[in-house]
């Protein structure tokens, strides 16, 4: 253990005699006592006598440095420190260490924060517009030169975006069909109108909820995966390697993902529509509506334009999900949290865009009377 004895010499000096082992686990008490002893002797010279110090590691040296730094240069002296430890102490400029030489930047005012935030949003919008242009150019190139597309990558991504997503899409759409049917059938039964629940499910799912829920699921699943994958590649300088090889990262990384999403999202939407109708039909069985009646009712109310209204949206949603996922991946900065941030931003921006674009579709359909 470390110990501290305090004494005063006849010539007015204060002597702090340290003894024992000075390391991170032993010095807490003597550190506080040492500081107090120096503070209690203002204007007097202080000698820290280290003759009885058996061991002094980096933490012990920090204690000595701190005691010396309590006063101006030369007023606190360390004496009789063993040469091995003295060498360690000599490595430091005590008074330079006492101040933080890399202080954190001053905090911005609220107005500055708002300004920085607005500038950030403006910059992000500009990047999104530039990216849309780059993707459009890459897709036009891909259509003109179909052999330039990396089809092996496209099929691999199709499997991950499409086939691997079937269970979760099935689960959510089935649940949606069941809940929608059950919640609406109870009040409608009071009016003997439970048969119209089939109309409700058919229209709501095919026009709106089928495409939107599938897209939101894919934004959380595949959009985040795209952002994380490309983000990791950005952090590992793999994207830089592509660029210096003269290969366009957009053509190489983004195009296959957008094509895969374009192929898979509409198929998953069809699948979600079907499963939600199954969920609704099963639920309505318990309200004494047989399958045949359900199918007949849905056939009667849902026409081709309703189906297409939802189906067309899924193509646009596919481009949005894949595009924003890839963009966030390419925007990834350095650091361990950057990839996580990219994935989060991909999901959040993806869902915001989906909702906004879905609203635009609603207005267009209303105007066109679809």
Partner 1 sequence: MDEAEPIVRVRDLAVGYGDVALLEHMTFDVRRGEIFVILGGSGSGKSTLLKHMIGLDEPMAGSVVIDGDDIVTATGDARRAILRKIGVMYQSGALFGSMTLAENVRLPLEEYTDLDPGEIELIARMKLSLVGLALFTGHLPAEISGGMQKRAAIARAMALDPMILFLDEPSAGLDPITSAELDALILRLSRNLGVTFVVVTHELPSIFAIADRVIMLDRRVKGIVAQGDPRKLRDESDDRWVRQFFNREPEPAPVPA
For partner 1, the closer of residues 90 and 303 by Cβ is: 90
Nearest of 363, 157, 127 to residue 258 by alpha carbon: 157
148-154 long-range contacts, CB within 8 A, separation 24+: 148/251, 149/255, 149/256, 149/259, 150/252, 150/255, 150/256, 153/256, 154/256, 154/259, 154/260, 154/263
The only residue of 333, 352, 360, 364 in contact with partner 1, by rule CB under 8 A: 333
For partner 1, the closer of residues 31 and 311 by Cβ is: 31
Neighbours of 93 (CB within 10 A): 9
* Minimum CB distance to partner 1, residue 7 (Å): 24
* Minimum CB distance to partner 1, residue 111 (Å): 25
- Does residue 92 belong to the site contacting partner 1 (CB under 8 A)? yes
The only residue of 5, 15, 23, 344 in contact with partner 1, by rule CB under 8 A: 23
* Minimum CB distance to partner 1, residue 172 (Å): 33
- Cα–Cα distance, 29 to 39 (Å, whole number): 16
* Minimum CB distance to partner 1, residue 107 (Å): 14
- Cα–Cα distance, 100 to 88 (Å, whole number): 21
For partner 1, the closer of residues 31 and 271 by Cβ is: 31
Task: Say which residues have a Cβ less than 8 Å from residue 325's Cβ, sequence separation at least 6.
Answer: 219, 222, 223, 224, 225, 226, 227, 230, 257, 346, 350
| Helix and strand element counts for the chain (H, E) | 16, 4
- Does residue 85 belong to the site contacting partner 1 (CB under 8 A)? yes
* Minimum CB distance to partner 1, residue 26 (Å): 10
Residues 53-82 that bind partner 1 (CB under 8 A): 57-59, 61-63, 65-66
DSSP letters for 121-136: HHHHHHHHHHHHHHHH
The site string for partner 1 over 30-49 (x = CB under 8 A, - otherwise) reads -xx-----------------
- Does residue 87 belong to the site contacting partner 1 (CB under 8 A)? yes
* Minimum CB distance to partner 1, residue 124 (Å): 20
- Does residue 24 belong to the site contacting partner 1 (CB under 8 A)? yes
- Does residue 25 belong to the site contacting partner 1 (CB under 8 A)? yes
DSSP, res 147: G
Strand partners, 174: none
Residues 96-135 that bind partner 1 (CB under 8 A): 96-97, 100-104
- Cα–Cα distance, 19 to 15 (Å, whole number): 13
For partner 1, the closer of residues 19 and 70 by Cβ is: 70
DSSP letters for 149-180: S-HHHHHHHHHHHTGGGHHHHHHHHHHHHHHH
Nearest of 96, 99, 97, 60 to residue 78 by alpha carbon: 60
For partner 1, the closer of residues 84 and 143 by Cβ is: 84
The site string for partner 1 over 170-209 (x = CB under 8 A, - otherwise) reads ----------------------------------------
Is the distance from CB of 239 to CB of 219 less than 8 angstroms? no
For partner 1, the closer of residues 8 and 54 by Cβ is: 54
Name the site residues for partner 1 (rule: CB under 8 A): 23-25, 27-28, 31-32, 57-59, 61-63, 65-66, 84-85, 87-88, 91-92, 96-97, 100-104, 333-338
């Amino acid at each position: 253990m470390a110990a501290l004895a305090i004494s005063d010499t006849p010539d007015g000096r204060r002597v702090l005699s340290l003894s024992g082992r000075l390391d991170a686990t032993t010095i807490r008490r003597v550190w506080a006592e040492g500081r107090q002893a120096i503070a209690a002797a203002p204007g007097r010279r202080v000698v820290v006598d280290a003759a009885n110090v058996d061991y002094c590691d980096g933490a012990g040296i920090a204690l000595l440095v701190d005691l010396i730094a309590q006063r101006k240069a030369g007023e606190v002296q360390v004496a009789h420190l063993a040469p091995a430890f003295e060498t360690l102490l000599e490595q430091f400029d005590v008074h330079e260490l006492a101040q933080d030489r890399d202080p954190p930047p001053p905090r911005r005012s609220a107005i500055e924060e708002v300004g920085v935030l607005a500038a950030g949003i403006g910059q992000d919008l500009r990047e999104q517009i530039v990216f849309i242009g780059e993707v459009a150019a890459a897709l036009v190139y891909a259509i003109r030169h179909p052999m330039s597309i990396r089809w092996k990558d496209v099929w691999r991504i199709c499997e991950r975006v499409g086939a691997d997503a079937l269970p979760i899409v099935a689960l959510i759409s089935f649940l949606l069909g069941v809940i929608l049917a059950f919640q609406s059938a109870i009040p409608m039964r009071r009016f003997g109108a439970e048969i119209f629940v089939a109309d409700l499910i058919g229209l709501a799912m095919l026009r709106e909820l089928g495409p939107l829920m599938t897209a939101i699921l894919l934004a959380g699943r595949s959009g985040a995966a795209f952002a994380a994958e490309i983000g990791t590649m950005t952090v590992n300088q793999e994207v830089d390697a592509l660029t210096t090889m003269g290969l366009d990262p957009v053509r190489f990384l983004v195009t296959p993902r957008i094509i895969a999403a374009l192929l898979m999202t509409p198929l998953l939407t069809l699948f979600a529509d079907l499963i939600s109708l199954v969920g609704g039909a099963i639920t309505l069985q318990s309200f004494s509506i047989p399958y045949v009646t359900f199918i007949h009712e849905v056939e009667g109310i849902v026409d081709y334009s309703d189906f297409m209204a939802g189906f067309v949206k899924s193509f646009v949603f596919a481009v949005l999900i894949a595009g924003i996922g890839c963009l966030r991946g390419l925007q990834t900065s350095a650091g361990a949290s950057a990839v996580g941030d990219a994935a989060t931003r991909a999901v959040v921006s993806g869902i915001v865009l989906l909702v906004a674009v879905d609203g635009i579709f609603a207005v267009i359909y209303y105007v066109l009377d679809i």
